[in-house]
Chain A
Amino acid sequence: MQLFKDFINGIWNENPIFKMVIGICSALAVTTAANNGIAMGLALTFVLTCSSILISLLRNVIPAKVRIPCYIIVVATFTTVVDLFMKAYFPSLYEVLGIFIPLIVVNCTVLARAESFASKVGLARATADALGMGLGFTWAITLISMIRELLGAGTLFGYRVMWDGFTPWVSAILPPGAFIVMGILVGLINMINRKTAKDTHSH
């Protein structure tokens, strides 16, 4: 039950993008096409899960004073591994995600979970939390990128879905589109939360 709670926490209650609004630099920059969103999300989930597991295992070994450098080394290692493998086996994806893969190192979500969660709990809870956070990040940026791709290019995952005469809304795949789409989604999610909070009160 506790594990499930930890998992759901990242998916919804403390969603890194929509609720905590951390790590949004990559979320805004790469979300021009749905494929990029999924790839970036999964890359982050991998780094986050691996480093949370390792940090949770090492939590009694790492001295408090050097914990941050240790976390950074762990995170950077996994990030570089992802970077190299993506470059080798998914070159076309790598070309698009470019510098944002190495930037996972400084993605606040990863360090925040290591510092505030993984370093304090056991392996199982740390894994559940990391997976939840990673997948929470993934669905959030995939949703943003789907909307942006649909409006900005008329396609979804590269497949044409809009009608023939559709005029693409170019600004959706430009930087302003990222802010507008994300802002509207954060607003909608706050609205849903407020509604559900009211319902639980009245019952």
Chain B
Amino acid sequence: MNQYARMIIVLMIISIASGAVLALSYEVTNPTIQEQARQKLEQSVLTVIPGATKMEEVQKEDMMIYIGLDDQGNKKGISFKAIGSGFDGPIEIMVGYNPKEGKLLGIEILSMSETPGLGARIKEEAFTKQFKEKSAEDEFTAKEDVQVISGATISSTAVANAIRTSLDKIVKIYPVGGDF
């Protein structure tokens, strides 16, 4: 056999075999991966909306909004993702909010890559719990109505700003005091 033909054929066979293996593994794992991602999302939505046991997804303008429902199907609040730019990359935050009262229900940091021991402490409850009960009319200014972690001003400010920015959009979609 011509050596060039051989090269092409061998490479092709190996590529096809590889493609087959990959397609198969993808088929096997994909449902689980999707399920994992959904569960993780639901988990964080339920954490930031106290009392909620189920969630419902709605798209409003360019924002994905997750509505938290309790067992009886009553709406307990909504949640949305806020993304801020931290010291070392993006910070993704899940924010729980009650439009009727115009108050935050709680937040959870979904992902971040801040410095361990400093910026990474935004994940700690000591920091996140201060956002509970905060009003949509609040300023969210670091060092004023938002307490910063000492040595991690940038990360703390990023969280506060991200929430403020997304909250502005949400307030336009769901005016304070209105239904949701």
State if A and B touch, Cβ cutoff 8 Å.
yes
A interface with B by C-beta (< 8 Å): 32, 58, 61-63, 65-66, 69-70, 73-74, 76-77, 80-81, 84-85, 87-89, 91, 95, 152-153, 168, 170, 173-174
Contacts of A88 in B (CB 8 A): 28-30, 32-33, 36
Instruction: Name A169's closest neighbour in chain B (CB-CB).
Output: B117
Asked whether, in the complex, the Cβ of A66 is within 8 Å of the Cβ of B116, the reply is no
The interface centre, meaning the residue of B3, B6, B21, B29 with most chain A CB atoms within 10 A of its CB, is: B29
Asked if B58 lies at the interface with its beta carbon under 8 angstroms from chain A, I say no
Known: A77-B18, A81-B21, A84-B33. A70 touches B115 (CB 8 A): no
Contacts of B33 in A (CB 8 A): 84, 87-88
Asked whether, in the complex, the Cβ of A74 is within 8 Å of the Cβ of B36, the reply is no
Compute how far the CA of A61 lies from the CA of B6 in the bound complex, rounded to whole angstroms. 9
Asked whether, in the complex, the Cβ of B6 is within 8 Å of the Cβ of A63, the reply is yes
Contacts of A74 in B (CB 8 A): 14, 18
A38 to chain B, nearest CB (A): 20
Asked if B10 lies at the interface with its beta carbon under 8 angstroms from chain A, I say yes
Asked whether, in the complex, the Cβ of A85 is within 8 Å of the Cβ of B25, the reply is yes
Asked whether, in the complex, the Cβ of B7 is within 8 Å of the Cβ of A65, the reply is yes
Instruction: Name B6's closest neighbour in chain A (CB-CB).
Output: A63
Asked if B22 lies at the interface with its beta carbon under 8 angstroms from chain A, I say yes
Asked if B26 lies at the interface with its beta carbon under 8 angstroms from chain A, I say yes
Contacts of B117 in A (CB 8 A): 168, 170, 173
B26 to chain A, nearest CB (A): 6
